Structure 1
Amino acid sequence: MYMTYISSMCNLTCYFFSCIHIGWLIKFCKLRKTNMEDKREEEVMHIAMFPWLAMGHLLPFLSLSKLLAQKGHKISFISTPRNLERLPKLPSNLSSSITFVSFPLPLISGLSPTSESSMDVPYNKQQSLKAAFDLLQAPLKEFLLRSSPDWIIYDYASHWLPSIAAELGISKAFFSLFNAATLCFLGPSSSLIDEFRTTPEDFTVVPPWVPFKSNVAFRYHEVTRYVEKTDEDVTGVSDSVRFGYSIGESDAVFVRSCPEFESEWFGLLKDLYQKPVFPTGFLPPVIEDDDTTWVRIKEWLDKQRVNSVVYVSLGTEASLCREEVTELALGLEKSETPFFWVLRNEPLTPDGFEERVKGRGMVHVGWVPQVKILRHESVGGFLTHCGWNSVVEGLGFGKAPIFLPVLNEQGLNTRLLHGKGIGVEVLRDERDGSFDSCSVADSVRLVMVDEEGESIRDKAKLMKGLFGNMDENIRHVDEIVSFMTSKGSSSSSSSSC
């Protein structure tokens, strides 16, 4: 009887303390869950993105935005109405994380109301577009004041933005759509602001701050348009100065490249900038949705042999004169190689050209789904202006490049890649940049069919594992997110490459 009583009391006591323990455990779990939720809430950043008005800049900014959104962060992507309409549709899982913020582009004299992108205006009107872009300062500041993002990631053209962000206490990162070698060639921010280069010849030599052997420099004909003022130079602010302030007043620099490709240049860049420098990876493109344009192109490509076609495209901004278009056309004809050639405007090809190459060559005027074309198995080579976007897309699918640089940094990209044994450059006159059909034909045949070009084709295929590697891309973005969330601008003093 007594033992039964004692046992019952023990059971009751155990039950009593078990209840207390369970209650405490439930309370602890709830408290821990709340703390974790609070911590997650604290780690979610609001990041504003503000690219320059060019599709070659908008798309990589959007790619980076998507990767940041996949990490759980909120993105405000800022541009003008027509440019936002041109962007691909967001995947459903990211539509709630990325908000498009539209600012109408102010009207200025000499610029069409429908001109909102560099692809909408000729080269000599680019400065007018930048003058209109600069007038976005006021609405952008108002938006930043109202929304208070944690970071703003911006482009080279908005040299006025870092001071606005600093005034509002917003961390700021310059995102370079140019590779590390190009940034090193441009030099430290002080040299850019002072514009110590004043003649075309100054750009045709490797700068004194490059301590290792390099061939990364402009040719004379490539730089004349870069140095000389255009007829519509209305802003009074050169690209050099824009770069200088955008880089110099940033809290960190993000570069669309990776040290695995250009390690020596990333090392030099950290020395030149003396601030955190992070690679974003190459941000390989996504495949666009099918449309009627692609259906027609695919039908033609499907009829060609594997790796037999050279895709020819000089981008949305570069323009060739009539003589250059003629020599390029005749060169493609002489190469006896299948080709798909994209022109942005009505063709100026020689009389009878399209009839003579019918079946072997196709000429298309206007927009094309470039990524799908480069992915197609019949395409083996890419005759390109060597803009960095096109380089990433072409090598991301292992296509062997043929270089025909036209403007901006394209000559520097060409030297960088050629120095690594990637691709062939069409021979041109050093002074005026002229080329003939034979140099085009020889370059195409070397890359596409000649035995001597086998090493070039093999090297391009190897590059696919680097330029098209999304896993490496995610790793680089993870490092950027870690820096942005844990260090911010005030306590950061070193970079991770």
Structure 2
Amino acid sequence: MAESTQEPPLHVVVFPWLAFGHIVPFLELAGQLARRGHLVTFVSAPRNVARLPRELSPRIRLVSLPLPAVDGLPDGAESTADVPPEKVELLKLAFDGLAGPVASFLAEAFAGAGGEGHAKRPDWIILDFAHNWLPPIAEQHKVPCALFLIFPAPFVAFMGPKAANDAHPRTAPEQFTVPPPWIPSASSTPAFHLHEAKRIAGGFHPNASGTSDMSRFWETERRCPLLVCRSSREVDGPAACALLRELYGKPVVPSGLLAPYDAVLAAAHAGGGGGGEEEEDAGGGVGPVMRWLDAQPARSVLYVAFGSEAPLSPALVREVALGLEIAGVRFLWALRKHAAAAGGGLLPAGFERRVAAAGRGVVRAGWLPQVRVLAHAAVGAFMTHAGWSSLVESFLLGHPLVMLPLAGDQGLTARVMAARRAGLEVPRAADDGSVARDDVAAAVRRVMVEEEGEAFARAARELQRVLWDRETQEGYVDDLVHNLLLQRRRE
């Protein structure tokens, strides 16, 4: 990987959707571009920008654009981590209100173009699925847009382009429980379970923002000459991006998995360590949690975290809690604030007291530094919603998985990982997705306690080996940069 290019550096505007599962891979991509000598302007809402790491490359400029107020959206809500799942559609409505500020930002950027550094004319805008209003603004300034798909390639293929969906319309949830006709019959692409399919079908219908998620995606994709997929041939298979190119009829460039190497190396350098007073104050109690991990035997703790956006019903939380208790393993559960605060006694009566008294479990209401936790020597497996960013972090540390997919692409991803024997999916009722405590306990024990767990651990270590082949992973970004430069040369 070259630190600088042989021609003037690119200036790329990078603008993710307002979810940290999106912001994190967009920021990793920004860092990779900056390491190659290119300039990045990273755009988000102010609170999201304030939450980003302090130590970023000087080639990355952060731009904050405040969201407009929307009735029903909590004050200060700027990401999916700030709202319960039912309010996310209002966040999309607020996000659409950024069209005017973004237009002004780009007009100012192009009015001052010709200078050095970040005053240079933007060459590309790399955007997300929700930005259907941005390509027309970019076209006014003759700057191309690239749609960065942070979802796994099998999910992007399963959802399909508008033309394929128009030719083979899917109007009932049951139609999402089988692969669509545009997926090759020889493919091993899985399908959604019925309870998941109901949510997926809902993404084709307008929400409070006035449009559907799929309409946003299709309109954004239609106006982007380049698609970038967070994909790796070593994980997704050699045909994944080729299928996407065939389906979408335009170049599709894999970015590699954009694993957070620097964060993992920093965690390894820090060692265990519970942190001092500064970390405890800043993290609201993170220090004691890390010190509890320090006291546990190596690879004995199940880390439990279900992301910042996926829905967690009280019934699901209670069954997971009781399943963990029945399993009898040590665990650390990062239960996000909205779930922890919902309805008071969400966890079973006496649960926290019992597991704490036994020295086996800690429930942390709120944020935890996930990469640092996963990198801790005491952690031996990861119970997750199977969000792609969380799985990439887990791959990097070689942890087997206990998967409880909750929304979006997660069901497909969990099935792909289970087929690779990297972990187990917790069974759920087909119609309503309910979870039984005994099934949770059985899955946890199969991965962490029983002899079968070693097979899951071996598969997880193989994924770890793939991710730490940095030369291959960096090569994907080099190819992406080559494609971005080619477009500029043609202008």
User: Any gaps of 5 or more consecutive residues in structure 2?
Assistant: 110-120, 268-274
Counterpart residue number, 1:403: 403
Confirm whether residue 337 of structure 1 aligns to residue 335 of structure 2.
no
User: Using the alignment, how far apart are the partners of 1:120 and 1:479 within structure 2?
Assistant: 36
What TM-score, normalized to structure 2? 0.87
Q: Contact (CA 8 Å) 2:124, 2:146: kept in 1 or not?
A: yes
Q: For residues 258-291 of structure 1, what are the alpha-carbon distances to aligned partners after superposition, in whole Å with 9 as ceiling and x for unaligned? A: 1111123222112112211111111112427862
Counterpart residue number, 1:184: 157
Confirm whether residue 82 of structure 1 aligns to residue 55 of structure 2.
no
Counterpart residue number, 2:298: 306
Match of 1:102 among 55, 64, 88: 64
User: Using the alignment, how far apart are the partners of 2:362 and 2:85 within structure 1?
Assistant: 27
SS of residue matched to 2:182: coil
Q: For residues 173-209 of structure 1, what are the alpha-carbon distances to aligned partners after superposition, in whole Å with 9 as ceiling and x for unaligned? A: 1101101111001112434688922221121110111
Letter in 2 for 1:445: R
Match of 1:279 among 250, 254, 260: 254
SS of residue matched to 2:146: strand
Bigger radius of gyration: 1
SS of residue matched to 1:153: strand
Q: What is the deviation of 1:297?
A: 2.0
Confirm whether residue 266 of structure 1 aligns to residue 241 of structure 2.
yes
Counterpart residue number, 2:375: 375
Q: Contact (CA 8 Å) 2:205, 2:212: kept in 1 or not?
A: no
Counterpart residue number, 1:115: 77
Q: What is the deviation of 1:161?
A: 1.6
Match of 2:100 among 128, 138, 141: 138
Q: What is the deviation of 1:473?
A: 2.6
Counterpart residue number, 1:323: 315
User: Using the alignment, how far apart are the partners of 2:468 and 2:102 within structure 1?
Assistant: 34
Q: Contact (CA 8 Å) 1:171, 1:489: kept in 2 or not?
A: no
Q: What is the deviation of 1:152?
A: 0.5
1:375/1:109 Cα in 2 relative to 1: closer, same or farther (>3 Å)? same
Counterpart residue number, 1:446: 446
Report matched runs for 1:91-490 at 5 Å. 91=56, 94-95=57-58, 97-147=59-109, 148-191=121-164, 196-211=169-184, 212-228=186-202, 233-262=207-236, 263-285=238-260, 286-287=262-263, 291-292=279-280, 293-345=285-337, 346=340, 348-358=346-356, 359-488=359-488
User: Using the alignment, how far apart are the partners of 1:322 and 1:489 within structure 2?
Assistant: 55
1:480/1:65 Cα in 2 relative to 1: closer, same or farther (>3 Å)? same
Q: What is the deviation of 1:65?
A: 0.6
Letter in 1 for 2:68: P
User: Using the alignment, how far apart are the partners of 1:185 and 1:154 within structure 2?
Assistant: 21
1:296/1:472 Cα in 2 relative to 1: closer, same or farther (>3 Å)? farther
Q: What is the deviation of 1:228?
A: 3.4
1:369/1:113 Cα in 2 relative to 1: closer, same or farther (>3 Å)? same
Q: What is the deviation of 1:326?
A: 1.5
Letter in 2 for 1:255: C
User: Using the alignment, how far apart are the partners of 2:483 and 2:20 within structure 1?
Assistant: 28
Q: Contact (CA 8 Å) 1:284, 1:470: kept in 2 or not?
A: no
Q: Contact (CA 8 Å) 1:252, 1:489: kept in 2 or not?
A: no
User: Using the alignment, how far apart are the partners of 2:328 and 2:346 within structure 1?
Assistant: 20
1:416/1:231 Cα in 2 relative to 1: closer, same or farther (>3 Å)? closer
1:489/1:270 Cα in 2 relative to 1: closer, same or farther (>3 Å)? farther
Q: For residues 151-179 of structure 1, what are the alpha-carbon distances to aligned partners after superposition, in whole Å with 9 as ceiling and x for unaligned? A: 00000000122222223210211101101
SS of residue matched to 1:327: helix
Q: Tell which deviates more after alignment, 438-447 or 404-413.
A: 404-413
User: Using the alignment, how far apart are the partners of 2:46 and 2:427 within structure 1?
Assistant: 41
Q: Contact (CA 8 Å) 2:206, 2:213: kept in 1 or not?
A: no
CA RMSD of aligned residues (A): 2.2
1:312/1:165 Cα in 2 relative to 1: closer, same or farther (>3 Å)? same
Report matched runs for 1:24-35 at 5 Å. none
Give % identity: 41
Q: Tell which deviates more after alignment, 398-407 or 449-458.
A: 449-458
What TM-score, normalized to structure 1? 0.86
Counterpart residue number, 2:116: none
Q: Contact (CA 8 Å) 2:206, 2:212: kept in 1 or not?
A: no
Q: For residues 37-60 of structure 1, what are the alpha-carbon distances to aligned partners after superposition, in whole Å with 9 as ceiling and x for unaligned? A: xx95x5311110111011111111
User: Using the alignment, how far apart are the partners of 1:229 and 1:239 within structure 2?
Assistant: 5
Aligned residue-pair number: 449
User: Any gaps of 5 or more consecutive residues in structure 1?
Assistant: 1-38, 492-497
Letter in 1 for 2:434: S
